[in-house]
Amino acid sequence: MCSKCHKEKTRFYSKTNICVECSLDRDRIRYREKNPIFKKRGRQGSDLVGKKYGILTVVKRVENNKGKKAQWLCTCDCGNEKIAVTTELNRGRTKHCGCLRKECTGEYTGRKKEKGYVLLYRPKHPNARKDGWILEHVMIMSDKIGRPLKKDEHVHHKYGFKDDNRSENLELWTGKHPSGQRVKDIVDFCVNYLKEYKPEILAIT
């Protein structure tokens, strides 16, 4: 008879009066007490905080959905937030917040900022990086001159605003251009700005 469950048993654990079944239950309890990642109903899911899935970065765990599936708050490279399910992230089904749209051509398009510059997701463009992103001002200049930019060609923002990718603000250089802006370019920008928003100041001067 087992000294723990008080039932007639034929198999006992290692020369004791405890049956094998009770001994296994005791070992499971001890293991769960020593390992806080285990609960009564089994092991918890993996911690995904800080992991990267496509252009999503997991920030924190949030409340489970209606189907009792684990959910995570993620931030997208474009700046938006998205709540995603663990299985969808691990299986690669959720990689962005929706900013990358699949067009009929089968190409993904997206937009984000990096160090002040605007980038577009155009993996098939000749000037795109290995990850598929291209600087918007590079793509605009490429379209303007009708060919991809060469390795020694760079695009300069004349007015100094990195995210102002209007054609009149872009200038093609061979080799690296110096830092800063020409005084003439800044003056032209200021004059044009005043003409549009404060023309009376120009009339006074």
Tell me the three-class secondary structure of the chain, residue by residue: CCCCCCCCCCCECCCCCCEHHHHHHHHHHHHHHHCCCEECCEECCCCCCCCEECCEEEEEEECCCCCCCCEEEEEECCCCEEEEEHHHHHCCCCCCCCCCEECCCCCEECEEEECCEEEEECCCCCCCCCCCEEEHHHHHHHHHHCCCCCCCEEEEECCCCCCCCCHHHEEEEECCCCCCCCHHHHHHHHHHHHHHHCHHHHHHC
- Residue 116 vs residue 194, higher pLDDT: 116
Give the model confidence (pLDDT) of 9-51 as tens digits.
566 555 566 676 776 666 666 665 666 555 544 445 578 888 9
Q: What is the pLDDT of residue 127?
A: 93
pTM attached to this predicted model? 0.44
Give the model confidence (pLDDT) of 96-153 as tens digits.
887 765 433 345 567 888 888 999 888 889 999 888 899 999 999 999 999 999 988 9
Most confident of 77-91, 133-147, 152-166, 175-189: 133-147
